[in-house]
Amino acid sequence: MSFSESLQLHQKDAGPPLFDAKVVMPSAANIARAAECLLAGQLIGLPTETVYGLAARGDDGAAVDRIFVAKKRPRNNPLILHVADFTDAFALFDSDSSAELRRRAERLGVFWPGPLTLVGSRHPSILDEVTAGNDTVAVRVPNHPVALALLRRLAEIAGRVIPLAAPSANVSNYVSPTTAAHVIEGLGDEVALILDGGPCNVGVESTIVWLPDDSSPVRVLRAGVISPEQISIALGEEVELVISTAKPNDTVTAPGQFAKHYSPRTTLYLLENSNDQSPLTANSRVLRIVFGPVGPESNADVWSFNLDGRLETAATELYATLRRADQAGYDAIEIVGCANTGIGVAIMDRLRRAAIT
Ligand code: TXA
Ligand code: MG
């Protein structure tokens, strides 16, 4: 056997490569390269503080369309536009939008850059491909140095603001990505490159808040680390929590979230109490994942999202743990839920959707 044949054999045995040439360090040169790819209409993997995004320039219908094709995303599910600051964000709303919308957006602007998405009446220049034909647009300023540097570089090269359309960088309905390797796993063939910004520190997607055009109540459409209470305090008024549960084939009158989402391929059971068990036969291999420390009686088939007991840690580790669990070859995964308070609300929302079959 020649040396190169034996090397090939060795590489086959070694499983997937640890390094992928598409994953690049976020140097100034690579950020400029990512900007050029985006301007040419290509997709890139973008680190944010919540999850990695699959980004395309948001002002080019053909580029935005590639996101839907790559993710196999239903075209009735609109995208979030990402920009570098409040001024750029507000410019994406209808310039005739009410003083009420502006007043509320300014108050909530204290959370930017950060894990908050605001939905409001769209500026006429926003593409239908982005909003799925709705008359509102979703906007966010991500709190990640690499995302912000890229947005600024793009504007410098183009001589104007280029918002980035970016859903989570996973194939539709699968678990969201919190590392560059997760993006490679699902969408490696679809991206020109991935800027490696390290693991995301928040770990669950942004809180989505809808600002109406009039004085009717503000609505929280998706739970995230920024809680409805924090939104309510910043606004100085009550807010409504309206978490939608549309099914993929439903006619969606108002955009929002589909019920099944964030799902590993392995069947997942969400249990109410630690004494509960999933409805499985005795000889199936079941992985149990809990919150907080694992008891002394437990074995290798019991994992924890957060040995330190902090729900912030559980949020950061949530998707990576689900992905690892999915690859471990169990017949089923059972998860004992966490407290439905604070960031636990967002965690339980994701787990409930992951558990829908
Ligand atoms: O943290 C995040 O928000 C991440 C990072 C990459 O920024 N992005 C993200 O995007 O989670 P995606 O596409 O996976 O989820 C966006 C959600 C979808 O449920 C979509 O229906 C909703 O935002 N959405 C987008 N535009 C909307 C609109 N105009 N009205 C209501 N919901 C909207
Ligand atoms: Mg998503």
Which pLDDT tens digit goes with each residue over 250-308? 555 455 567 778 899 999 999 988 888 888 777 899 999 999 999 877 788 999 999 99
- Taking the centre of ligand 2 as the mean of its atom positions, its distance from the CA of residue 232, in whole angstroms, is 25
Separation between Cα atoms, residue 353 and residue 268, nearest integer Å: 10
CB 320 within 8 Å of CB 200: no
Ligand 1, atom 15: closest residue by C-alpha: 167
User: Residue 78 CA: which ligand is closest?
Assistant: 1
Model confidence pLDDT, tens digit, residues 337-346: 999 999 999 9
Instruction: Give the pLDDT confidence score for residue 7 in this predicted structure.
Output: 43
Strands annotated E in the chain: 23-24, 44-46, 53-57, 80-82, 116-121, 136-140, 164-165, 193-195, 207-210, 218-222, 239-241, 267-271, 286-290, 302-304, 332-336
Band of pLDDT at residue 6, cut at 50, 70 and 90: very low
- 346 touches ligand 1 (CB under 6 Å): no
What is the distance in angstroms between the CA of the first residue and the CA of the last residue of the chain? 49
Instruction: Give the pLDDT confidence score for residue 1 in this predicted structure.
Output: 47
Band of pLDDT at residue 109, cut at 50, 70 and 90: very high
Separation between Cα atoms, residue 48 and residue 29, nearest integer Å: 19
Which atom of ligand 1 is the closest one to the Cα of 258?
Answer: 19
CB 172 within 8 Å of CB 72: yes
For residue 267, list its beta bridge partners: 332
H or E element in which residue 314 lies: helix 311-327
Instruction: Give the pLDDT confidence score for residue 190 in this predicted structure.
Output: 98
Band of pLDDT at residue 55, cut at 50, 70 and 90: very high
Q: What are phi and psi of 29, to 5 degrees?
A: -65, -40
CB 146 within 8 Å of CB 197: yes
Identify the burial level of 74 via C-beta atoms within 10 angstroms of its C-beta, where 0-12 means exposed, 13-18 middle and 19 or more buried. middle
Question: How big, in percent rounded to 5, are the helix, strand and coil portions of the chain?
Answer: 30, 20, 50
Band of pLDDT at residue 19, cut at 50, 70 and 90: confident
Ligand 1, atom 10: closest residue by C-alpha: 167
For residue 183, list its beta bridge partners: none
Q: Tell me the pLDDT of the chain averaged across its residues.
A: 91
Query: By three-state DSSP, how is residue 134 classified?
Result: coil
- 97 touches ligand 1 (CB under 6 Å): no
What predicted TM-score, i.e. pTM, was given to this entire model? Answer: 0.93
Residue from 208, 350, 353 whose mutation best tests the ligand 1 pocket (most atoms within 8 A of CB): 208
Band of pLDDT at residue 100, cut at 50, 70 and 90: very high
Task: Output the six-digit token pair for 170.
Answer: 């996973």
